[in-house]
Amino acid sequence: MLYGTNIHEGEYVSIPSRRPLPINSLSETDLTVEGRSASVLNANDVHNASSEDHAGERGIRLSNSSPDEKRAKQGVDGQSVSDSESSTLRNSFATLDVNAGGSADNGDSSAGTREESSSADTVPSLIHKWSHTHSILCVIPSPSKNMVFCGTQDSKILVYDVVNYTLKHVIHCGHSGDSGESTAILCLAIDETEQFLFSAGADSLVKVWDISLIQDVETVRCTHIVYSLVDIGDIFSICWLDATSTLLIGAQNASILWCKLHLNSPASRDSSSTMHKLPHFRYDKFFDSKGPGGAINNLQSRHQMIKTTSLSSLKKDEIPSLVEVRNEDMIRFAHYGYVYCIEQFDIRDHSFGFIQPPLRPPEHVFLTGGGDGLVKIWAITSLEGETRIEMLKGLENQESVLSMSVSQAYLYVGLSDSSVNVWDLTTTQLVRSIHFEKSSSKYDEVLSLGIYNNCIFKASNLGGLYKYTLKNYPPNVTNSEKGRSLTDKSMKLTASGKSFNEILPKCSFDQNDGENDVLAVRIFNSKMGTTYLISGGYKSLCLWDITDVGTKIQPTSSVSDDVENNYLSLDNKNLLSTLKEFVSYKTVSKFPTLYLDDSRRCSQYLMHLLRSLKASDTRLFPVPDGNPVVYACFKRSEKYNTLQKKTRLLWYAHYDVVDADSSAWDTDPFQLVPKDGNVYGRGASDNKGPTLASLYAVSDLKQKNELSCDVVFVIEGEEECGSIGFQKVLTENKETIGEIDWILSSNSYWLDDETPCLNYGLRGVINASISVTSDKPDRHSGVDGGVSREPTLDLTQLLAQLVDPFNNSINIPNFYDDVLSLSEKEIALYQKVEKAVNNKNIKNQDFKTLMAKWRDPSLSIHRFEVSGPQNNTVIPQKATASISIRIVPHQDLEKIKKSLIHKLQSTFDKFDTDNRLSINVFHEGEPWLGDTNNLIYQILYDKIRSNWGPTVPEPLFIREGGTIPSIRFMEKCFDAPAAQIPCGQASDNAHLRNEKLRVLNLFKLRDILTDTFREIGAK
C-alpha cells in the first residue's frame, strides 16, 4: 500500500474563476443540455387562453408602466372578450416542462449523480377540469374539507369538491355588471383551522366568510367586512396571521394595511345605514353629482339601485360586522408601486441574515412584493396591545414582483419579465435567476408560483404553466471541465416545439399549438396523502396529481424537534446517523452551478444541528459569490466562571467536498456505507467526520457542565476551492467571533494506518500564470519559422532561468535567505518519523525525502498551453505556463512574490524580442509552523496516548507539503497559535475514489477532544 499520498485540501485543482451570484439557471439559446431535456404537455380544452383577453381581465396585475404602455396592454380597461372574439381563440393546455432533469444515473458521473430520476421524470396527471363563464383569478385549498375555493372575474367564489368533483357552492361577493370588472375577486386567504375564508379584490373590501359548516349549509355567511376610509384602490393581496389574529392587506395605492379581527367572538352587527360607509357606497362629489337640471345618467341610476338593494334581502343577524382600518394601521407608500403579494413565514427554524444579535428575533415576519421590484421583509411586534410593523430589509429585483413563494429558507420571486429569482433568506443573497423563453410580447408575467419536491410550477399570462426542476445533476462532466467552474448550461421551455417531441415520446394528451393563460396555482396535500396542484386560468380550473413529481427535498430542520424536546442523543450511534445525513448533501464547491442548493441546504442543516447541540449562538456569514460560513459558539460551563482567565478556542472546519465519479466508486459516494470497520462516503474523512466528532465532544461536555472553555466553530463551504471569501468574512466578523486563545482543526492524516500523528507544519504556495504573446497571429513554421522570436521559445527559455539545472535550486535572488536552519530538536523529530516508517517498510519516507516534502521550498511547472489548432506546423501566437512555488515557514510570501515577478521581468527584458510578457499570481497561501512545546500540543499528545492506550505507537509530530491558507491567516488575524490533530489514516483516500474513515478513528478523535476541551480552559 502506498501511504502518504493524500492530496491536501484545496490542492486537487487550480483555483477556479468563480461565477458571480446569482447563477443564471436558464438561457434563451440552448434548448437542451447534456443530461437534461425538456418536453411539452398539451391537451385540448383545459385552459382556453388569450393574451389580449387576459390584459383586459387582469390589467390591474400588470407592472407599473407608463400610461401609454398600460393602455397598450389593457385595451379598454375591464372589458371582457366578446363571444365572437373568444370563439376565435385556440383551445390550449397549460404548458409543462415535464422533464427538466433527465436521467441522472446514466453512465459516468463526476459528482456522484445516482439520483432518483424516475420521480423527476414523472408527468403530472390531470385529475379533473372545471369550466366557468369567466376567468379564475385566484385559488385557495381547504384540505380538511376536501374543497377548493376559487375567486373569479365575475365577483364569485366557486367552491369545488375535490373528491367527487362537484360544484358545492357559489358565493356571490357583490354586484357584477356586464363586464364584471368592478368587483373581481383578486385574492383569497384561509385561516389555519379552515373555518374562515378571506376574499378581496376590486371593490377595496376584505370580506370574511364563515365556512365552518359549509358542507351542511346552503348559504355561506359573510361575518366581517374590512374597509378603509382611505381610497386604497384594488386589493391585490391579503394574508391572515393566525398567531396574532391580524389581517394584512396589500393595495393598489402602494400601501400596506393591517387590523385585528376576533373571528370567533360575537361581533356587533351593523345596520344597513351603517353599510353606506363602505367605499363603493360612499357619495362621490364627482361621479354622484347630478347634471344640468338634476338629471342623472344610467351609471348613476344603477349605482343608486345597488345601494338600496344590496342589503335589503339580508336579515339583521345576517348583516356582517364592519371593521374599519385605522389610519395609524397603515404604511403609506410601503412600496413605490402596487403591492402585489404578501407571504408570511416561520422564523423559528432558521437563522436569517436580516436578524442578527443583539437584535432579538421578532414575533412574526412577513414579506411583501411590489411593482417597484422590491421584496420587503417586515417584522410584526405587539406593544401594549398595539400591533407594530417595521421593515427589516429590502431585496432588490430587476423587474416588478408579481408573486412569491417561500419554501424552507428560500424565497422564490416571480417577476414581470417571466423570470423567477431565488433568494436565500438565511444570508439574504440572490443565488439563482431562472430565465424562460421570452414571448413575442415582453409582458409575459409570472402571476403565481408553487414549489414542490425541488420543482417550480410557474403560472404566467402568456406562457401558461411551466414546471422547472431545480435539482439537475448532469450524467457526465468532461475532463476539460475539471479544474474550473462548470459553464452554466441551460434550457428554455416553449409552449410547443418539435425539438422536444423528438426527445421524449408524445404524452398521453394531444399536442396543440396555442397561447396559454394560467393566472393562479396552489399546491396542497389531501387528507389521503395525495399532493395536488390546482391551477386557475381563462374560464377553467384544473386539478393535477403531482405526488410523484420531482425529487424529495432533504429537510434541513430534521433535528428541530429535538431542540424543542431537549432530547438529542449524543451517543456514538447517533453520531454515525448524523454523519450519514451530513454526507448525503452533495456539497461540491467546485461546481456551484450544479450543487449550489445542496451546499446551502447543508449549511442550514448545520445550523439546526448546532442548535440541537445547545450552541448559545448560531449564524450564517454570507460569502460573496460563495457558500456561507457557519458560525456557532458554545459558552463554557458555569462552574468554570470562577476562573480568572477565560479561555476561548476556535475550531476550524469545512463542509464542502471535492467531486466524486460514481462510476469509479464501489458504492454511492453520497450515501454513507458501513463496511469492514469503516464508513465509505465522500467527505467522511475530509472533513465531515472530524467536524461532527468535535461538535459532539463539545456538546457532550456542555450538557454535563464540564466544558472548561468557550468553543467557537467556524465551518466554511469553500475550502476545496481555495477558501473563496473566507478571509474577508472573518475580518468583517472578528468582533462577533471574539478574542481567541487557541485555534484547532482536524484537516490532515496519519503517515500510515497504525500510528497517531499531530501535524505542526504546512508549506505555503504561490500559484502564477506566465504568458508570452506576439502581436502576430498564429503562423506556419514552414513560412515564418526563424523570422522572429516565437512566444513558445521565449517562454521556455524564461522558465529555464528559474531553476538551476545542476542542483535543482531555485534561481530567485535571496530566495533562501529566510529559510530556518535545521535545529537538533527538529532533527530528532524527523529521525523518529524515519524510524517509525522504516519499521513498517514504507517507501519514500527517509530523512532526505521528508525534508524535501515538508521542509524545503520547491518550484514546479504544471501546465503548458499554446494558442492555435495544436498542429505540429503552427507557431502559436501565445504560450502560457502555470507554475507554483512552495514556500516554507519564515519565508515572506510578499517578498518572494515580488522577487519572482522581478526575476521573470528582468530576465525577459534581456531577450531581444518583440513579444510581450504577462504574469498573473492567481492564488497564494502562507506557510504555517506550530509550536510543539506549547500547551495545546502537550495536552493533545497526552490525550492521544491515554485514549489509544499502550498497544498503539506513540504519536508522531509530522508536517505536510501542502497548504491550508486559512490556518496561518487565522493565527495572524486572532493572534493565537494553531494546532492540527489528524483523524484519518493514510489509506482514507480523501479526494479519491472510495473515500473512507475508520469508525474507531472517528470515535477516538471524539474522546480525545472531549478530554482536551475539559482540560484546556482549566490549565
The residues annotated with a catalytic role in the active site are 656, 719
Burial (CB count <10 Å: 0-12, 13-18, 19+), residue 513: exposed
CA–CA separation, 751 and 992 (whole Å): 17
Strands 125-131 and 410-415 come out as: unpaired
Burial (CB count <10 Å: 0-12, 13-18, 19+), residue 790: buried
Give the residue among 1004, 984, 976, 401 at the shortest CA–CA distance from 696: 1004
Give the residue among 554, 607, 693 at the shortest CA–CA distance from 984: 693
Q: What share of the chain is helix, strand, coil (3-state, %, to 5)?
A: 25, 30, 45
CA–CA separation, 199 and 168 (whole Å): 18
CA–CA separation, 453 and 203 (whole Å): 37
- What's the longest Cα–Cα distance across the chain? 118
Cα 623 to the chain's mean position, in Å? 12
Which residue's entry shows cell 370580506? 207
Which residue's entry shows cell 469492514? 676
Distances in Å between the alpha carbon of 531 and those of 450, 522, 663, 918?
12, 11, 34, 59
DSSP state at residue 810? B
475 prior amide bond cis, ω within 30 = no
CA–CA separation, 470 and 322 (whole Å): 45
Give the residue among 370, 138, 388 at the shortest CA–CA distance from 260: 388
Give the residue among 880, 881, 843, 878 at the shortest CA–CA distance from 859: 881
Provide the β-strand partners of residue 330.
Answer: 257
**What cell does 697 get?**
465532544
CA–CA separation, 492 and 514 (whole Å): 18
Q: Which amino acid is present at 477? A: V
Cβ of 307: how many Cβ atoms within 10 Å? 18
CA–CA separation, 519 and 667 (whole Å): 46
Cβ of 732: how many Cβ atoms within 10 Å? 11
Q: Are 156 and 199 in contact (CB under 8 A)?
A: no
Q: Are 682 and 660 in contact (CB under 8 A)?
A: yes
Tally helices (H) and strands (E) across the chain: 20, 47
Give the residue among 614, 653, 656 at the shortest CA–CA distance from 633: 614
Give me the sheet containing 446-452, strands edge to edge.
446-452, 455-460, 464-469
DSSP string, 604-668: HHHHHHHHHTT-SEEEEEEETTEEEEEEEEEPPPGGGTTSSS--EEEEEEE--B----GGGSSS-
CA–CA separation, 52 and 575 (whole Å): 60
CA–CA separation, 609 and 568 (whole Å): 10
Burial (CB count <10 Å: 0-12, 13-18, 19+), residue 365: buried
First-to-last alpha carbon distance for the chain, in angstroms, is: 42
List alpha helices for 25-157, DSSP H: 51-57, 67-74, 83-86, 117-120
**What cell does 957 get?**
509530530
Q: Are 313 and 570 in contact (CB under 8 A)?
A: no
